[in-house]
Structure 1
Amino acid sequence: MKLRRVVITGLGTINSLGHNVPEYFDNLVAGKSGAGLITRFDASLFKTRFACEIKDYDPEKFGIDKKDARRNDPFTQYALIAAHEAITDSHLDLDALDKNQVGVIVGSGIGGIETLLREIGEFYKGGMVPRFSPFLVPMMIADIASGMISMKYGFRGPNYATVS
């Protein structure tokens, strides 16, 4: 088997220090911290009450409509946003590429944990009746992010997630 080169051609991010690469880099070199008090849920019962949340996040500001936001866990939305920035940053002519040779590999700590936690919460609130969203598994599996990116851009090369 002949090995081929892998080329990283663009950068993209959305994280607790910035909604894009320049914002992230500026905050990083300025020595700012992305950590702060948890605001996405009531953390008063936990010993640790701080995290590195993405502040002021609105999927529609990034071109993700309400329907797609409901059907994709935030981790997938973040992956789509970062991929879009990286592809834009690359200045690649996507129409000139052999999309069978373009792959997507996404690294994730766990996948759609927010979706899983929401569904578990609904399970307990609903008298523990086992009724779950048909989107539960697709929204929480780690490789859905690379799949959504591949589908959005028509990439048909290798597509998977690494989880650590």
Structure 2
Amino acid sequence: MKRVVVTGIGMITALGLDKKSSFENICSGKTGVGKITLFDASEFPVSIAAEVKDFDPSVVVEDGKEIKKMDRFIQLGLKAATEAMSDAKFSEFDADEFGISSAAGIGGLPNIEINSNVCLQRGPRRISPFFIPSALVNMLGGFISIYHNLKGPNLASVTACAASTHAIIEAAKTIQVGEAKKMLVVGAEAAICPVGIGGFAAMKALSTRNDDPEHASRPFDGERNGFVMGEGAAALVLETYEDAVARGAKIYGELIGYGSSGDAYHITSPTLDGPLRAMKKAYKMAGEPKVDYINAHGTSTAVNDRNETAALKELFGANVPAVSSTKGQIGHCLGAAGAIEAAVALLAMESGIIPPTINQISKDPECDLDYVPNTARKAQIDCVMSNNFGFGGTNGSVIFKRVK
């Protein structure tokens, strides 16, 4: 099969409007978690989240009318995609051979909520004609393909919190079987709205540390009590190794292994077995390399962190590499998490800096790995793994290596 490499990265998170500032602030141990400002959450059981701040969509969409046609998740995704395409430094490309693989867990939830209220309160004739196109998950790829003239396969993954990890995998497969030579992967999510926060709060999935937002998301910590909702986007340009070398492109890493699995167990409660099988598939495909760093799913929920820790022990035995979760810094970005965290893992490999797991305060006897507590660490990193698992028992794992 064709070798697949990453030649462009874009990112927008609660800690930065581009990949450089996001990664630097993540490694500095800063957090973007704070009081919700996107709506009045004062009467909600959860009033904290990791919001993208000071984002102006006109930076990437000059026409104000076009902006109104896009839900926030599409705007964020377009911002990350534009940065990634610029980062890849194409002088030209064959549009027919360049596709897109997009992902979101929920999509345009704010617009669904708004237009549902309009329908109920003002009648169906007042629903926006742009409602459906702004809310569909695949419209993330639809809009971006138009803006960047990508005429190859236009795919979308909607697999909860594993969505953009699966989007990476689907893009790689598309290249490997020869259906395209290049693929833009974009994961985006913006579900910080009343029904989004209210829904996850009703499930008891969110941290309720409303008075201490900076320490609310604490992956693998003994006193974790739920995840913190985040929003953001990341984009990766994937292309064949041969094309990248031929045009002298900068290569962030080669995708050497990937794996997916299903729990077939419970709609929301994860298992140990499902994530383990996804990681095993990725590890075997990669040739069982020496992995130097793992960006864990690490949600700050009791069951996920315990299961992921146990699965890593089962896979690596006594030699589990350094592990960190960056969700303490940028929250859980749901369907965008996989793309963001893969980008973080690749940037860690490029910079030789392992991001920390912040808010490591209390020990959990069942979470006893090296989570790079609280402070980033310099290291030689030649191979990285990134894991993501989602509701419905859907799992994904990817492994990248340095191209020397």
Fold similarity call, TM over 0.5: yes
Higher fraction of helix: 1
Question: Match of 1:160, SS?
Answer: strand
Structure 1: distance between partners of 2:107 and 2:60 = 20
**Quick one: which of 124, 141, 154 aligns to 1:146?**
141
**Quick one: which of 124, 135, 139 aligns to 2:130?**
135
Please name the residue that 2:187 is paired with: none
Structure 2: distance between partners of 1:7 and 1:151 = 24
Shift of residue 123, structure 1, vs aligned partner: 2.6
Please name the residue that 2:43 is paired with: 45
Normalization by structure 2: what TM-score?
0.38
Structure 1: distance between partners of 2:33 and 2:55 = 15
Letter matched to residue 150 of structure 2: F
Structure 2: distance between partners of 1:64 and 1:37 = 30
Shift of residue 24, structure 1, vs aligned partner: 0.1
Structure 1: distance between partners of 2:58 and 2:104 = 23
Report which of the two structures shows the higher radius of gyration computed on alpha carbons: 2
Query: Identity percentage over the alignment?
Result: 37
Give 5+ residue unaligned stretches, structure 1.
none
Shift of residue 124, structure 1, vs aligned partner: 3.6
Question: Contact 2:60–2:82 at 8 Å: present in 1 too?
Answer: no
**Quick one: which of 88, 102, 106 aligns to 2:102?**
106
Structure 1: distance between partners of 2:68 and 2:33 = 26
Question: Contact 2:101–2:141 at 8 Å: present in 1 too?
Answer: yes
Normalization by structure 1: what TM-score?
0.89
Letter matched to residue 66 of structure 1: G
The within-5 A match list for 1:8-23 is: 8-23=6-21
Structure 1 runs of 4+ off > 6 angstroms? none
Structure 1 5/159 Cα, relative in aligned 2: closer, same or farther at 3 Å?
A: farther
Higher fraction of strand: 2
Please name the residue that 2:306 is paired with: none
Structure 1: distance between partners of 2:12 and 2:62 = 14
Superposed CA offset, 1:23-52 (max 9, x none): 101110110112111001111221110011
Question: Match of 1:118, SS?
Answer: helix
Structure 1: distance between partners of 2:34 and 2:84 = 27
Letter matched to residue 130 of structure 2: F
Give 5+ residue unaligned stretches, structure 2.
161-404
Shift of residue 63, structure 1, vs aligned partner: 4.1
Please name the residue that 1:87 is paired with: 85
The within-5 A match list for 1:38-77 is: 38-77=36-75
Question: Match of 1:142, SS?
Answer: coil
Paired residue total: 158
Query: Does 2:107 match 1:123?
Result: no
Shift of residue 4, structure 1, vs aligned partner: 4.3
Letter matched to residue 116 of structure 1: I
